[in-house]
Structure formats: structure tokens, C-alpha cells
Amino acid sequence: MFALVKSRLYAIGVDISQQGIRVAQLADRRPACRLLAGSWIARPAQIEPGTQDWITWASQALRQAIASGPFKGRKAVGTLRPEQLMVETMRMPKADNDGKIEEAILARLRSNNSQRLTRQDAMVRYAQIEQDSVLAMVADRRSVETYLDIMELAGLEPVAIIPWPQAIAGCYARFFGRRQSDLDAMVILIYLEQDQTDIVISRHSTPLFARSIPIGVPGTEDPLAVERLVSEVISCRRALSSCIPNGHPGRVIFFSSRSDNRQSCLAIARQLQLQAQLGDCLAAVEVPPSLGQQAPDCGIDRRTGSDGWALAFGLSLSYLT
């Protein structure tokens, strides 16, 4: 008897950044994972992020991307990127109920950030990670509503808005943390983007610490910028250990497929005295050749070392339809 391999579909992952929109949908074909559809749309230079024109452009561009690709279904998962989300690892505030805990978290994060959100405008979430420590997150309610509006205007059905650290940790766990020993191992995840580097320290799929550094891929060619990036990672590791005494990552994973980043990544890992791995998301999934042929500008091309898919993949993986 021959058995047919049936794929289970994940939601459409929608990553909206100041640079553009990246969408991806994965299908689960255990033990493999298949990229069902993907698209990248750059933001026009004349469109200012956060404006009404930007909302109109984003919703129309997203609708067009979904219509022109082999996406299936309407369920979508979005995210709040570092510029919209305050994240901090801290000791659990001593309070009697969730309401007072959230008030204490908001006061703490407001004191450490430039944003001055009122309790009414703020969405506060926290997750207990280890012992008496929590990963606390605060976002402007209006940012969440804007992203929901964009997806709905594009004809999608948003089922969740998840924090960017959770999406990156989920991507790591699915593709690069599959050994039994990885389940309890603490790792540093470094997501290199054009204008920033996002750092997550996680235990498998659970983010423990997150920070974004304004040093992008071009900066990794500058020795001074690399030194600063190393210093920031060391600072992250030190901040985590102040809340989790046994917080000692043993490996660093760089989400990058570009061969010209390899030497910079290895140099960073050597200074951190950690084992290093390049996490190439496109190489970790089955990519139908027809995807690049149908949409040559979609950004899906292993030959050119396409970066930037870790977040969109992690968003898709977070919800099985």
C-alpha cells in the first residue's frame, strides 16, 4: 500500500516593517516543512511609515501579494516589531493580582524607555520564564489596532498578534533546535536585518530575553560596529544572568544565509567564546522551484542568499490551521 503525504497548513505570517512587507505560509510535512508561498514588497520611498498613506499602501500591497501567490486560506498572524514593543526581563513584581502586576510592569518599562503610554493606551503582557522572573512586554494599543486593520483591509482573518521574540524563538526551535539536547539548552539568537540586529536569548521556543540594536547587515563589515555589537550581546547576557543566575547560553545562532556575512558572524562568535551556527531559513524548508519562477521579485532565491525570512516563518509556524 502507498500512503499519501498530507500537508497541514500553517497560517499566513505577516511581517510588516518600515522597509516593507514580508509574508510567508508554511505547510507541515513531517519531518520536513514546505514553503507554500512567500512574498516581499518594498515600501516606496515616498510613503512615510505610520501615516494614513502607509496604512492604505500596506493593506493594498498585502492584498495584492496574497492574491498573486499560492497562499491558501485567510488566517493570518502578525507581529509587533522592536520599534512598537517594549521588552524587558525583570523580577516578578510583588503584587496581589494581575492588574497590579501589570501596573508595576508598565511603570518599570516607562521609566526605562522614551515612550510615555498611559494605562489606558498600553497593552501589557508578561510570561513567567524561570523562578521568579518574567519577560514583560508593553505595546501601544493603537499599534496593535493598526496592524489588525491592515490585515483585515487586505482581506485576511487575523488570529493573533505575537511578539517578535516569540516568533524568532519559534523559528529556531522548529528548524535548528530539533535535537533532544536542545530542549533545555539556552542559546543566543541573532537576527541580522538591514538596519538593525534583533537579539533573543531563549530556552528552545521560550524567549527569556530580547533586545534590538541599531546595527544592520552593512555594519557587520565595520570592525568598530562589530565590536559594539559584541559589547551589546555581552550586555544582554549579563542582564539575563542578573535575573536568571544559571543563564549561560552555550551557542549562538545567526539567522543569515549570506555567505559574505559568514566571516563577521564567526568573528562575533569567537569574541563571545561560543559555538556558532548560521541559520539559513530557506535552506531549512522545501522550496518549490516554481515559487521563484512565478514571482522573481519575491525575495525567495537561495542563490542570492536571501535574508529576512526568520520572523515571517516564525509567525506562520505559530498557528496551525
pLDDT at position 305 is 46
Q: What is the residue extent of each domain of the chain?
A: 8-83+141-318, 86-136
Instruction: For residue 294, give every residue at least 6 positions away whose Cβ sits within 8 Å of its Cβ, in sequence order, or none.
Output: 69, 70
pLDDT at position 300 is 66
Instruction: Say if CB 39 and CB 295 are below 8 A apart.
Output: yes
Cα 47 → chain centroid: 24
Q: How many CB atoms lie within 10 A of CB 279?
A: 21
Q: What angle do CA 32, 33, 39 make, to 5 degrees?
A: 155
Q: CATH classification of 8-83+141-318, choosing from 3.40.30.10, 3.40.50.300, 3.30.420.40, 1.10.1370.30?
A: 3.30.420.40
Instruction: Say if CB 208 and CB 202 are below 8 A apart.
Output: yes
CA separation for the pair 288, 73 (Å, rounded): 19
- The neighbouring-strand residues paired with 91 are 133
List the one residue out of 298, 266, 267 whose CA is nearest residue 64.
Answer: 298
CA separation for the pair 172, 66 (Å, rounded): 25
One digit per residue, pLDDT tens: the chain, 321 residues?
444 456 699 999 999 999 999 999 999 987 789 999 999 999 999 999 999 999 999 999 999 999 988 999 999 999 999 999 999 999 999 887 888 999 999 988 887 776 678 888 999 999 999 878 999 999 999 999 999 999 999 999 999 999 999 999 999 999 999 999 999 999 999 998 888 999 999 999 999 999 999 988 877 788 888 899 999 999 999 999 988 888 789 999 999 766 557 778 888 899 999 999 989 898 899 988 777 555 545 556 554 445 689 999 999 999 998
E strand intervals along 118-272: 122-130, 133-140, 157-163, 186-192, 197-203, 206-213, 251-255
pLDDT at position 307 is 64
